[in-house]
A and B are shown apart, each in its own frame.
Chain A
Amino acid sequence: MSTPPPERVRVTSSRRGAVPHRSRPAARDIDEQTELGDVYLDGLMRAQLRLSLVILALMVVGLAALPVVLALVPATRSTTVFGIPFPWVVLGVAVYPAAWVLARWYARQSERIESDFAEVVDEP
């Protein structure tokens, strides 16, 4: 005699209460000021600082270049460009477009850094 085997019972685990798996957006880490969020923010701030320092360094080098050129190549003191002495052209005209180009480059680069950061952070 053999007893009939017990009826098979399907055992399942109810996952109704479980949260479906989802990657944490980085924005939440930043909002909650977790260590990971700090790493993200540090990266952004360091990139911006580096860009700023590069711009300032270029500015200083550009300004220092004029006295150096005048000292090393004395001929430039009396050279004329379109009838205007070279130092006048540099200090009176050329310096302004140069400053504008630097400023524009900075603005564009920093906007790019920010949009790159936003892309990383908002990724689901």
Chain B
Amino acid sequence: MNHPLSIVAVVLVCLTTLAVGGLGLRLSRRTSDFYVAGRTVSPRLNASAIGGEYLSAASFLGVAGLVYGVGVDMLWLPVGYTLGYLVLLVMVAAPMRRSGAYTLPDFAEARLGSRAVRLVSSLLVVAIGWLYLVPQFQGASLTLTLVTGAPSWVGGFVVMVVIAAAVGAGGMRSITFVQAVQYWVKLTALAVPAFVLLLLWFRDGHPAPVVPPEWHVPLTPTGPGDHPVYRTASTLLALCLGTMGLPHVLVRYYTNPDGIGARRTTVTVIALLGTFYLLPPVYGVLGRVAFPVLPEGCARTPSSCACPTTWSAASGATCSRRCSPGAPSRRSSRPRPASRCRSPASSTRRCCGPGSRASPAATPRVCAASATPPSRRWSSPTR
């Protein structure tokens, strides 16, 4: 890892966040400015802000990893994330804005006329916010530790200070600008490497990924007692209805000037999410091309995987050479935990047998099984 460059990048993002937050500071004067940005946010700006808020690491790292491991069936998840906004659009977007509420409990009380509902709604909002906050801090700590080697408390602390400063000083107006910028930063950070990888892939003759056939077919059972159609339908239903219950997303709708603005915001959100979700499968598939199999244990600790980082070296070569016991670990920054990672020799024998690359159709079953990360379960990452 290049520590100075990583630190520069992190500092740059933090300073951008604070600077953009400062942009809202000058305009933030009244109570309504603080809580709902004066209800003057244009649909495009608001849509970018919702996109920035909605797309977390789970949306690209999680989806890419699941696609790598399980295949096309995992694409139902981003489809559900996006279609949730279609349901939100036709059911609640405009009425919610027109209710004139400031918060989700406000809306619940106005609609149902009950203080008890308001209380329950408040508790749920806090609980959902908590469930989002803790993984964000954990993710920030892990990321900063990984790219700079900082102690684990630093990441969470930096995020807390930067966001608390932006929100406390500028309120909703600041955070709208911050989140809108974040969407475009995230999209760029994901799109540029994806296009470079795609170019390299085409240059190398676009080899197809070496995968078992069920990787390409949706709704394949993952086990004997699995009902793929039922499982997929219930997941989609949960995602579609769940989007309407995300307080940090819904609160953004109060910042639009009117109901028509809220609807137009949602239409743009769907376009932005659709653009974004084109990218994670690219990483999943190209990952499968570059690393046909991960030796067992590498699914949990990718940094200790002893495989080449490009597939060009492997054109025509067998997989066993790529995962050969003698190949040095190019990425290892940490010692490999012996308990997690099988010895390279045994992983070569199990999943990198000769011929697994030469004849895709004859890929041994054991290879497919061991290539699957432990997240084979249908687990929905938090967005």
Contacts and interface: CB of A to CB of B under 8 A. Distances in A.
Interface of A: 51-52, 55-56, 59, 63, 66-67, 70, 77-78, 83, 85, 87-88, 91-93, 95-97, 99-100, 102-104, 106-107, 110-111, 114
A107 B219 contact: no
Given A67-B229, A99-B86, A91 B266 contact: no
Chain B interface mostly helix, strand, loop or mixed?
Answer: helix
Contact of A97 (B72, B263, B274): B274
Contacts of B75: 88, 91-92
A87 to B, nearest CB: 5
22 contacts: A51-B90, A63-B236, A67-B219, A78-B216, A85-B72, A85-B216, A87-B72, A87-B216, A91-B79, A92-B75, A96-B270, A96-B273, A96-B277, A103-B85, A103-B266, A106-B89, A107-B89, A107-B260, A107-B266, A107-B267, A110-B94, A111-B263
A59 B281 CA distance: 22
B217 A77 contact: yes
Interface in B266-312: 266-267, 270-271, 273-275, 277-278, 281
Contacts of B275: 96
A85 B216 CA distance: 7
B353 interface: no
Interface of B: 72, 75-76, 79, 82-83, 85-87, 89-91, 94, 206, 216-219, 229, 236, 260, 263-264, 266-267, 270-271, 273-275, 277-278, 281
Contacts of A100: 267, 270-271, 274
Contacts, number: 87
Given A66-B218, A77-B217, A97-B274, A103 B72 contact: no
Given A88-B281, A92-B281, A103 B270 contact: yes
Given A88-B281, A100-B267, 11 more contacts: A70-B217, A83-B206, A85-B72, A85-B216, A87-B217, A96-B273, A100-B271, A103-B266, A106-B86, A107-B266, A107-B267
Contacts of B206: 83
A77 B89 CA distance: 33
B263 A107 contact: yes
B281 A107 contact: no
Nearest to B269: A103
A123 B109 CA distance: 34
A59 B233 CA distance: 13
Nearest to A91: B75
Contacts of A114: 260
Contacts of A85: 72, 216
A67 B230 CA distance: 12
A93 B82 CA distance: 12
Contact of A103 (B79, B89, B218): B89
Interface centre among B90, B270, B281 (most CB of A within 10 A): B90
Contact of A96 (B76, B82, B90, B91): B82
Contact of B90 (A52, A66, A92): A52
Contacts of A97: 274
Given A63-B236, A103-B266, A111-B260, A91 B86 contact: no
B83 A99 contact: yes
B67 to A, nearest CB: 9
A61 to B, nearest CB: 13
